[in-house]
Amino acid sequence: MSISELYKVTEVELIYRTDSSFNERHKISNTEDAHNILRQNWDENKIELLEQAKILLLNRAMQVLGIYNLSSGGTSGTVVDAKQIFAVALKANASAIILAHNHPSGNLTPSDADKKITEKICKGGKFLDIEVLDHIIITKNQYYSFADSNNLNFIS
């Protein structure tokens, strides 16, 4: 096998399909809108059982392009992979994203890991021109918003 055959780059095909028209998409105007859409698409039977992470993908008009189920973990954590987040956002041609995950414990306080991954994703978003509008932590009865708490000011 020649070196050129050994290191041949595999072609990557990007496909994006939507079942809704521009006028049918939900618009996000505030954190409550985002929370409501996320809750409608969250398995309530798992919210106190295991930690899950999702991404809300938005176009320039702040309309929902889709929700991506990023990961499912255990009772105290789940993997949030920046490469996967941005691969999905780029594939959907998203202009903005909202991160979300649940805390099965019911504690709304962001952990140090929550803060670090939020900062990392915000920095990556700046580089790719994908705005990170919020990171929402969901529990059975409440939610916490990094944006509403002014905790998204990582880069000026």
Q: How far apart are CA 48 and CA 43, in angstroms?
A: 10
Would you state the pLDDT for residue 79?
86
**b/e sequence 99-122, b meaning 16+ C-beta within 10 Å:** bbbbbbeeeeebeeebeebbbebb
**pLDDT tier at 22 (50, 70, 90 boundaries)?**
low
Q: How far apart are CA 20 and CA 43, in angstroms?
A: 22
Q: What is the mean predicted confidence (pLDDT) over 82-109? A: 95
Q: Which helix (H) or strand (E) holds 35?
A: helix 31-40
Angle between helices 82-91 and 112-128 (to 10 degrees): 40
Would you state the pLDDT for residue 134?
97
Neighbours of 149 (CB within 10 A): 11
Would you state the pLDDT for residue 12?
45
DSSP state of 27: B
- Is the pLDDT confidence value at 151 over 50? yes
Q: What percent of the chain has pLDDT over 90?
A: 71
Strands 52-58 and 64-72: antiparallel
Q: What percent of the chain has pLDDT over 70?
A: 83
Is-contact 65 59, C-beta < 8 A?
yes
Phi, psi of 57 (to 5 degrees): -100, 130
pLDDT tens column, 38-87: 999 999 999 999 999 999 999 999 999 999 999 888 777 888 999 999 99
**pLDDT tier at 25 (50, 70, 90 boundaries)?**
confident
Which amino acid would we find at residue 99?
Answer: L
Q: Which helix (H) or strand (E) holds 96?
A: strand 96-102
* Structural domains of the chain sorted by starting position, each given as residue range(s) with its CATH number in brackets: 32-145 (3.40.140.10)
**Higher model confidence: residue 76 or residue 147?**
147
Phi, psi of 150 (to 5 degrees): 55, 40
